Amino acid sequence: DVDSAVSKPKETSDVAAPALGGKERATFVSLARNQDLWELVGSIREIEDRFNSKFHYDWVFLNDGEFSEEFKKVTSSFCSGKTKYGQISKEQWSFPPWIDTDKAAQVREEMREKKIIYGDSISYRHMCRYESGFFFRHPLLEEYDYYWRVEPGIKIYCDVDYDVFKFMRENKKSYGWTISLPEYKETIPTLWKTTKEFIKENPQYIAQDNLMEWISEDGGSSYNGCHFWSNFEVGSLDFWRSEAYLKYFEYLDKAGGFFYERWGDAPVHSIAVALFMPKDQVHFFNDIGYYHVPFHNCPIDETIRKEKKCMCAPTDDFTFRPYSCTSKFYNLMGLKKPDGWEKYAS
Ligand code: GDP
Ligand code: MN
């Protein structure tokens, strides 16, 4: 499935970074099509300017189709680390044999009429299923422990002047995020019911100090929809490769909701993080200014804004808005909110 791995010639700048004590086994990972090239280049440039020009981490690009020579040439010219290009195997990007494709087509038609976002899309469903269950098993990711997911069209608002992957390892963090919000209920009617069945059959996977309270207001009876927005993730690949998560994904996949509903990878990842990971391994990157349409994580803390040269309006910050789930995260984790947060809470 690996169509090529382009290594850039070593430049003298490659020598500078390891003064910080060596690189982590980590990579950026972007799922994209050839048509996403220029929006993705924008994202790469943001990441390079604010972070990776100092650290030179690798970048893995994945595609269900074949990357064009132009895509490879242009992206590799913007990345300061090694770039690798992989094609996704057909069986990981098609209807599994147990799925009734007529039933799936009928659902798409209903969702189209109800104008549910991406409700009529087949490719979006393959994307969500792939990001839920397969990206971390791609052969090109095998050599890495941590990843940072990057999508086309994002912005990074502040300097990231430390090695986030090293931060993850040294602080025993396994999942890092920037924006949280509730999922559209119409896309996941039976996700929670299916999750509860799984938990009932496999109670051993539930972490001691978990974040169940963050995703449920009634002790697990129902799901409040809160999820970490997965277009940004800095995480441990080993968590997704764990028995708990692999079994969970398989269970969900067999239930069919990626196709009979429109389960997103964000709620799937988030439920797993909330239930199978001790909560002290979950990290909110309050200092990584980030934008993916239509939400901003723009640090309101004056010290951070000044030190990290944040180029965003604090009035745009989504963190403490009523629709965000991040305030609840602060409360559950006993984190101190920045001074004046109430001003940005309505
Ligand atoms: P949104 O952020 O939920 O609106 O969805 P996006 O359109 O940004 O898609 C999420 C990610 O999957 C992005 O990294 C896209 O480049 C990628 N993606 C979406 N659909 C496809 C597809 O059909 N093929 C490939 N190769 N990548 C896709
Ligand atoms: Mn996107």
**How close is the Cα of 66 to the center of ligand 1, in Å?**
15
DSSP 51: I
- Nearest-atom index, ligand 1, CA of 62: 26
CA 39/CA 48 separation, integer angstroms: 14
**How close is the Cα of 231 to the center of ligand 2, in Å?**
6
User: pTM for the whole thing?
Assistant: 0.94
Neighbours of 72 (CB within 10 A): 19
- Domains by residue range for the chain, with CATH: 1-10+23-88+146-152 (no CATH), 96-133+154-346 (3.90.550.10)
Joined tokens for residue 115: 């104008």
3-state secondary structure of 102: helix
- Which residue has a Cα nearest atom 28 of ligand 1? 32
**Residue 306: in which H helix or E strand, if any?**
helix 302-307
**How close is the Cα of 109 to the center of ligand 2, in Å?**
23
User: Cis ω on the peptide bond leading into residue 189 (within 30° of 0)?
Assistant: no
Joined tokens for residue 45: 């440039």
| β-bridge mates for residue 29, sequence order | 60, 149
CA 290/CA 142 separation, integer angstroms: 27
Angle at 212 between CA 333 and CA 256, to 5 degrees: 140
Asked about 69 being catalytic, the answer comes back as no
ipTM exceeds 0.95: yes
Joined tokens for residue 248: 């969970």
Q: Annotated catalytic residue: which of 233, 243, 250, 302?
A: 233
Nearest to 252 by CA among 315, 186, 202: 202
DSSP 263: -
**Which residues' Cβ are closer than 6 Å to ligand 1?**
30-33, 36, 63-64, 123, 127, 151-152, 231
Task: State CA 346 to chain mean position distance.
Answer: 26
Q: Is 133 exposed, middle or buried (0-12, 13-18, 19+ CB in 10 A)?
A: buried
- Nearest-atom index, ligand 1, CA of 153: 8
**How close is the Cα of 124 to the center of ligand 1, in Å?**
7
Task: Choose one of 1, 28, 29, 31 to mutate for the ligand 1 pocket test, by most ligand atoms within 8 angstroms of C-beta.
Answer: 31
Q: What is the pLDDT of residue 22?
A: 85
Mean pLDDT per 10-residue run, the chain (346 residues)? Answer: 43 42 93 98 98 98 98 98 98 98 98 97 98 98 98 98 98 98 97 98 98 98 98 98 98 98 98 98 98 98 98 98 98 97 96
Angle at 145 between CA 142 and CA 146, to 5 degrees: 115
Task: Choose one of 1, 87, 127 to mutate for the ligand 1 pocket test, by most ligand atoms within 8 angstroms of C-beta.
Answer: 127
CA 20/CA 18 separation, integer angstroms: 5
Joined tokens for residue 158: 């502040």
CA 42/CA 337 separation, integer angstroms: 31
- Nearest-atom index, ligand 1, CA of 149: 14
- Nearest-atom index, ligand 1, CA of 123: 23
